[in-house]
Amino acid sequence: MRGILPLAGSDSEREMILSMQYGWIGTILHIDLLAERIKTIDTMKYAEEYIGGRGLAARLAWEYVPVGVDCFDPYNPLIIMTGPLTGTPAPTSGRVIFASVSPRVYPKPWYTHSTMGGFIGSEIKYAGFDGLIITGKSERPVYIWIRDDEVDIMPAEDLWGLTVRATVEKLRRKHGRGIEVACIGPAGERLVRYAAISHPPENASGHSGFGAVMGSKKIKAIVVKGTGGVGVAEPERFLSACKDAMKLSCVGAVDYFLREEKPTPICSHSCSVDCRIGTLISDVPKRFSEGGIKNYQVFCIGNIWVSSKPVAGYEGGGVKVPPITGWNPCDGGLELHMLCDDLGLDLWVLLTLQPWLVRCLEVGLNLLKEPNLDPRDPLCFRRLLENIAYRRGLGDILAEGLRRALDRLRDELPNEIVKLAETLEFAYGFPAHREGRIWDPEPLPFWLVSALMYATESRDPTICTHTSFLHLAELYLDDKDAFLLKLKPIAAKLWGSEKAIEPSFEYKVPLTIWCQHRHIILDCLPLCDFAFPRLIKPFKSREEWLSAEDVYGDLGIEAKLLSTCTGIKYSTEDLEKSAERTFNLERMILVEKFGRNREIDEIVAAHFQLPCSTDGTYISIEKFKELLTEYYQARGWCKETGKPLPETLRRIKLNI
């Protein structure tokens, strides 16, 4: 920490503090593989307006992403960006943003983003950079080796072909145990469209398929070792804000009230929040090889891999989705999870391909032409994972994602199977998630907000709205009357009407925009959405929640953390304006560079004609279009095209 500085007020004070670069390091690394040139970019040119993370990534993308560029084109940049809180003690701040043109997007790739936990973001800051942008393509396999201000493009022929863990171990033997590594496995090398960038043991940027972007550039790994630190403008006040944030960041949903206490798995730098999505598995005998697994942490979707209990499943509107079944650790579930990680595949491969293949068998269709095919058999699924990662047989087709696989197989598939694939990946090729039908109980009003977000964003938008939405849905389902009684005053205050939180179609646009802006704020600082934003207070028990009269939390803690870290006074309104600017910039990238328009936005509407699995509600195409028009008008976008209007860009000071 570099000392204490009062909060800035005048323009001259802000310029002085920006020059000192508290929070931010001040430098972004630009690696041009084609020209074999390494240079730097000034972070501070855009830092105050775009904060960091997703905001800075979007600003760089506007400059560096060519119009209509393909995901595997050498000129498609891979952007890796931290935020001003990365590398500090701010709770859950050890996250990093990846951004690029996504191979997963169907039918034509476009720009999007992804997040990852772990420790590499902090290490990038400690090495002296706020982020990296990598352009061009190497003629041979390479890895990027960063140690403080020394940056080298190293040969990686001896790493190419290795699995994720083998890659990391070989690099650690070469450079020491203190390095942090993000790398790809065989799936990324072979351009599987949902290949992950992996940061072992259990962190990945998976959904957007950026592992394939790394593979197309012949980058096997990014290796970082830093010995520096992050300057903080007001150490005492910042640490006080960190303590306040920690008190607020206890998980507060009913589902978690009822669980027994257990040790907290750590998934990221500065994370000591028990989000309760992690499971520590110990002393498991291996099924497919000799020996055992001593300790391994699984998070989120990983828990489904190690549970043999059926999960989700859906039937309605002419669609039948068989439930997911994993395998308990002793039956090979943990090994399959680890294999998926090791091959560098998005863990959601289980949640999309298993139900689709199960249903294929149920209707008498055996795509693999194998007499004993059973996607719920661990040996079969192990073989399937390897075939996808190495692009063998049907695995080569499925490596393109279900929507692109349909383009190859459509003529030999019955209509039901086609519709099922289109349902499982209904939104531009991304898996269905928290949309009220297949995964997670999301009754009205929650699924409607998800629907509007799906229609207007570049990828699955619900990946970063756990505290702001998923946990609220759990409270709603536990006791609807208590929920509405407590949340209606908050709804009136934040979104203009008590109806915003009611199970109706009214006042959902302000709620949607608020969720989107809060998502961006977290991705820019960055912070974890399992702990923030604190719309409601954390409660230690269900009884405490039900008896509380005032449940409103603290939506200003993010601004407090940022202000005391950087020395620049940010209000919550300032952060929301920055989020609005970033959201509109991302929209302009999609519109101007990739032809996104209203017709494309409306593609997702058909999915929400299916009845909600929790309450049976749905929306007609006509009503969805009405709400989309209302959304465009609230955003200041052209209602015919969905493009931000010139006056909107001027109002939010989006100077592009």
CB count within 10 Å of CB 48 equals 17
> Does 573 share its domain with 638?
yes
Q: Nearest 5°: phi and psi at 193?
A: -70, -10
pLDDT along the chain (656 residues), means of 10: 32 53 95 94 95 98 98 98 97 95 98 96 97 98 96 98 98 97 98 97 91 98 97 97 88 49 65 73 85 83 89 93 94 94 96 95 80 86 96 95 94 93 97 92 95 97 81 91 96 97 97 96 94 89 91 96 97 98 98 98 98 97 98 98 98 94
In sequence order, what DSSP letters do the residues of 193-243 get, joined into one string? TTBPEEETTTEEE-TT-HHHHHHHTTEEEEEEE-------S-HHHHHHHHH
Q: In angstroms, rounded to a whole number, what is the distance separating the alpha carbons of residues 509 and 499?
A: 11
Within 13 Å and on the Cβ side, how many CA atoms surround 518?
28
pLDDT single digits (tens) 216-255: 999 999 999 999 999 999 999 999 999 999 988 765 454 4
- 435 domain residue, yes or no: no
> Does 179 share its domain with 284?
no
> Does 524 share its domain with 616?
yes
> Does 211 share its domain with 285?
no
Q: In angstroms, rounded to a whole number, what is the distance separating the alpha carbons of residues 474 and 583?
A: 28
Structure tokens at 281: 């598995």
- Look at residues 410, 427, 508, 506 and name the one whose alpha carbon lies nearest to residue 463: 427
Strands of 19-81 (E only): list them. Answer: 27-32, 37-42, 78-81
> Does 36 share its domain with 185?
yes
Structure tokens at 474: 């759990």
- Quick one: pLDDT at residue 19? 53
- β-pair partners for 295: 282
In sequence order, what DSSP letters do the residues of 154-190 get, joined into one string? EE-TTTTT--HHHHHHHHHHHH-TT-EEEE--HHHHT
> Does 393 share its domain with 363?
yes
* Phi/psi-derived region of residue 627, left when phi > 0, alpha when psi is between -120 and 50, beta in every other case: alpha
pLDDT single digits (tens) 132-150: 999 999 999 999 999 999 9
Structure tokens at 276: 């309760």
- Look at residues 441, 519, 504 and name the one whose alpha carbon lies nearest to residue 477: 441
Structure tokens at 148: 């403080």
- Quick one: pLDDT at residue 434? 92
Domain C-terminal end among 193, 225, 257: 225
Q: Nearest 5°: phi and psi at 225?
A: -140, 120
CATH number reported for the structural domain that contains residue 51 in this entry: 3.60.9.10
- 636 domain residue, yes or no: yes
Domain with 413, as residue range(s), is 275-424
Give per-residue burial for 488-512: e unless 16+ CB within 10 Å, then b.
bebbeebbeebbbbbeebebbbbbb
Give per-residue burial for 386-400: e unless 16+ CB within 10 Å, then b.
ebbbbbebbbbbbbb
Q: In angstroms, rounded to a whole number, what is the distance separating the alpha carbons of residues 220 and 143?
A: 5
| Residue 109: its H or E element | none
Residues 6+ apart with CB under 8 A from 648: 584, 635, 636, 637
- 52 domain residue, yes or no: yes
> Does 71 share its domain with 209?
yes
- Tell me the residue type at 107: P
- 256 domain residue, yes or no: no
- Tell me the residue type at 248: L
> Does 503 share its domain with 363?
no
> Does 413 share its domain with 503?
no
> Does 163 share its domain with 218?
yes
Q: Could you tell me if 210 and 115 are in contact, meaning their C-beta atoms sit under 8 angstroms apart? A: no
Structure tokens at 294: 């001593």
Q: Diameter of the chain by CA atoms?
A: 75
Q: Could you tell me if 468 and 535 are in contact, meaning their C-beta atoms sit under 8 angstroms apart? A: yes
> Does 546 share its domain with 627?
yes
- 314 domain residue, yes or no: yes
Q: In angstroms, rounded to a whole number, what is the distance separating the alpha carbons of residues 572 and 584?
A: 18
- 135 domain residue, yes or no: yes
Q: What is the dihedral of CA 356, 360, 361, 363, to 10 degrees?
A: 130
- Quick one: pLDDT at residue 352? 96
- Look at residues 72, 103, 352, 386 and name the one whose alpha carbon lies nearest to residue 217: 72
Residues 6+ apart with CB under 8 A from 328: 306, 307, 308
pLDDT single digits (tens) 522-573: 999 999 988 899 999 888 888 999 999 999 999 999 999 999 999 999 999 9
Strand, coil or helix: 557: helix
- 233 domain residue, yes or no: no
Residue 368 sits at the vertex; the CA angle it makes with 459 and 209, to the nearest 5 degrees, is: 20
- Tell me the residue type at 453: M
Residue showing tokens 């601004």: 559
Q: In angstroms, rounded to a whole number, what is the distance separating the alpha carbons of residues 563 and 577?
A: 15
> Does 594 share its domain with 552?
yes
- Tally of domains in the chain: 3
Structure tokens at 353: 């391909």
CATH number reported for the structural domain that contains residue 320 in this entry: 1.10.569.10
- 312 domain residue, yes or no: yes
